[in-house]
Amino acid sequence: MHLINIDYGEEIDFLDEDLVLRNAAYCNISCGYHAGDALSIRKSIVACLRHGIKIGAHPSYQDKVNFGRVNTAASPSELYYQLIHQLAGFSGIAQELNAEVFHVKAHGALYNHIMSDPHVAQVFLDASLKIFPNAKIFLMPGTLMEEICLSRGIAFLREGFGDRRYQNSTKLLPRAVPGAVIQDLSQIKEQFDDLRSGFVDTIDKGRVQLAIDTICYHGDNPAINQILISLEA
């Protein structure tokens, strides 16, 4: 079974944290720029340590208004320092708690940009590895980001998305498109089974192969609690 990763520490009121902590192998903890703060980071790390969950830093553009889904960095250098500020703060809290940061995963618009923009990808990797030189990078397989990590010898895990529709094998359907976020539990189960079998259905290309190491579910999906309960069944 592929291990599940879940976005966490985003202060989502309806999210049942017990379900997250029962089902996640990895938690992507918000670094405070799209949601949360130092206190929520600390609380999230403590909870993950208690449940044996691997911890990941989940940085974003500085954009709480749009939940990290808009590019707010004016230049590569500004993005670099946004990332350093987030990750260094996260690192300090993790060190205080004697917690290993296993991975780094970009959030929202930043995640999409690093999969296709070489300049943004390199800035993200430079900042991530400066603070966490031994961390793995979570990324979509078949993307530019995977190519860059391979060329630089950077360790990574390939992830599929269990609650998002795919436009093609390397691009998710934009959230503004109806049905882009999957909430129907029968469709969730079908996509989960497909991803574990190395496939995914896409809008543009039909059923395609997709080799992954972990499956992501979003903590802000309105159906997240029902999704996690269904995966336990």
Question: What are the 10-residue block averages of pLDDT along the chain, 233 residues in total?
Answer: 88 96 97 98 98 98 95 90 97 98 98 96 98 98 98 98 97 95 97 96 96 97 97 84
User: What per-residue confidence (pLDDT) applies to 72?
Assistant: 87
pTM of the predicted structure, to 2 decimals: 0.96
From the candidate CATH numbers 3.20.20.370, 2.40.110.20, 3.10.150.10, 3.40.50.11540, the one assigned to the domain spanning 3-232: 3.20.20.370
User: What per-residue confidence (pLDDT) applies to 73?
Assistant: 79
Contacts 24+ apart (CB under 8 A), 64-69: 64/33, 64/34, 64/35, 67/34, 67/35, 67/108, 67/220, 68/33, 68/34, 68/35, 68/107, 68/108, 68/109, 68/110, 69/34, 69/108, 69/109, 69/175
Nearest Cα residue to 170 out of 111, 230, 214, 121:
111
User: What per-residue confidence (pLDDT) applies to 2?
Assistant: 66
